[in-house]
Structure 1
Amino acid sequence: MNKLVGLWAHPRSRSTVLERVFIERGDFEVFHEPFAHMAFSAESAIPSDEWDYSLPTTYQGIKQHLLTARERSHVFHKDMCYHCLDNLKVDLEFLAQQDNIFLIREPASSIISHHRVHPDMPLQAIGHKALYEIFCVVTKLTGKIPYVINADDLAREPERVIGKLCDYLGIEFLPHAMSWRRECPPQWKTWRSWHVAAENSERIISPDPQPSDMGVFEQFPKLRHLYEYHRTFYARMNQFCQ
């Protein structure tokens, strides 16, 4: 049977550049945040670009879209748990059908990056809490700790991290998938403005050091509250990183 790989992440976690590796592989059909289409529309306040009206807009419709694709090829989809949290928490059958991979990034960095794109993001959109909830559901469902990747490890040692992930998934590590042309894949067009760095990348790299996050928190006190709320969930998952 073809594989179904679900990469569950939170916004600004470097999930898009990890997804790009699977696009470059060529042996997976790749879906970019399909469940966002049940959470948002072209009229939503969240920044979006070329809206894809061909995708289903209900949980059941999106899930079936993925399962139908699996009938013809391996499937990789990445999404944010907060997009579909209530449905996903109780859909054990769907979670059991796939390899569930979790990607986390230190919340100060992800929150500040998020703020630059969408300053009015609500609390739940930071995403760490929803991600942790599904992490717990999968742990209970499978009886073992799910596979967790820290985005900073991915940036520092991409070949090692992707190699270990391939071993875990039982797929071949393909060196050619670790580099690419600067372009916007079709999957990204709806959310293109969120992925400028990924679009202009040629490989996974560790970014240059940024100024202290604490200065930004002092300028925007709301961000400190978002950080304090979500950092516990990050810490709980980070201890299980591969």
Structure 2
Amino acid sequence: MTAPRRIAMWSGPRNLSTAMMYAFAARGDCHAVDEPFYAAYLARTGKDHPMRDEILASQPQDPRAVIDALTGPVPGGKPVAYHKHMAQHMIPGIPRDWIAGCTNVFLIRHPARVLASFAAKYENPTLDDIGFLQQQALFDELRAAGERAVVIDSADIRRDPEAMIRVLCDAIDLTFDPAMLSWPEGGHPADGVWARVWYGAVHRSTGFAGPEGDLPQVTGALAPMVAAALPAYDALAAEKLTLS
């Protein structure tokens, strides 16, 4: 029997990550998992996120139990498993010994856009909350170990969804499926319980949104965070997939 493909998509918040999960879940051959370490992360950090109690009750808080599920049989016997991960969830104490067994993709978005969107939903965010430094550290860790890692920019996907999804599929040796370009309006069975707080826009969508406009003007306490996140974003952007 052929071993299943496990695709780990590493993102931060407000970064097209749910739309990408829906795109992969629309494939007939793929089982999707939504932020499986969220409860473990909240339990260890004590962070007071929206719906904290519901999240803690909805998932295993033991990271090893999460890993066992991610690396075990894929539900439905499907040949592809898609893991939507937040890079900031990989805090000390959460093992990383399973990551090299996945096809690792890093989904990036300009930090000004991320912070403008995230701060509208979450008060007083910090640099650690938005995942840029964690994304770069994990990418560098994989590359240093000789592992392959792929980077794709959400702005490029929104500019030309079909072309960029085809490029991504080619980069990870996965056959492109046109079903990845659309999904039914409303929620998805893979959604975490937190979907009603965070996923409103994608629940109203049936496909990828169009190109984004000018960068938002981020001011006040958020501006230094944009500056601090930019080097990590730029380093990953230098490695991103492009149209040939």
Both structures adopt the same fold (TM-score exceeding 0.5): yes
Q: Partners of 2:67 and 2:143 in 1: how far apart?
A: 21
CA contact (8 A) 1:29 1:69 kept: no
The more displaced of 171-180 and 230-239 is: 171-180
CA contact (8 A) 2:58 2:193 kept: no
Q: Partners of 1:180 and 1:207 in 2: how far apart?
A: 19
Residue matched to 1:7: 9
Query: Compared with structure 1, are the counterparts of its residues 178 and 30 closer, same or farther at alpha carbon in structure 2 (3 Å cutoff)?
Result: same
Q: Partners of 1:48 and 1:122 in 2: how far apart?
A: 19
CA contact (8 A) 2:155 2:212 kept: no
Q: What RMSD, in angstroms, separates the aligned Cα atoms of the two structures?
A: 2.1
- State the Cα distance separating 1:177 from its structure 2 match: 2.5
- Structural mapping, 1:50-199, within 5 Å: 51=55, 53-70=57-74, 72-73=77-78, 74-87=80-93, 91=96, 93-142=97-146, 144=148, 146-192=149-195, 193-199=197-203
Counterpart residue identity of residue 118, structure 1: Y
User: Which one of 1, 24, 27 corresponds to residue 26 of structure 2?
Assistant: 24
Structure 2 SS opposite 1:53:
helix
TM-score (norm 2): 0.88
Residue matched to 2:236: 237
**CA displacement 1:213-240 (0-9 Å, x = unmatched):** 22x41xxx11012111111100111011
CA contact (8 A) 1:38 1:84 kept: no
Instruction: Report whether the alignment pairs 1:224 with 2:226.
Output: no
Query: Compared with structure 1, are the counterparts of its residues 163 and 222 closer, same or farther at alpha carbon in structure 2 (3 Å cutoff)?
Result: same
Which consecutive residues of structure 2, in runs of 5 or more, have no partner in the other structure? Answer: none
Q: Partners of 1:87 and 1:139 in 2: how far apart?
A: 21
- State the Cα distance separating 1:147 from its structure 2 match: 0.6
- State the Cα distance separating 1:46 from its structure 2 match: 1.3
Q: Partners of 1:187 and 1:105 in 2: how far apart?
A: 23
CA contact (8 A) 1:9 1:80 kept: yes
- State the Cα distance separating 1:54 from its structure 2 match: 4.6
Q: Partners of 1:143 and 1:79 in 2: how far apart?
A: 18
- State the Cα distance separating 1:162 from its structure 2 match: 0.8
Identity of aligned residues (%): 24
**CA displacement 1:93-117 (0-9 Å, x = unmatched):** 3122110000100000011100011
Equivalent pairs, count? 233
Which consecutive residues of structure 1, in runs of 5 or more, have no partner in the other structure? Answer: none
Q: Partners of 1:180 and 1:110 in 2: how far apart?
A: 24
Q: Partners of 2:58 and 2:113 in 1: how far apart?
A: 34
- State the Cα distance separating 1:143 from its structure 2 match: 5.2
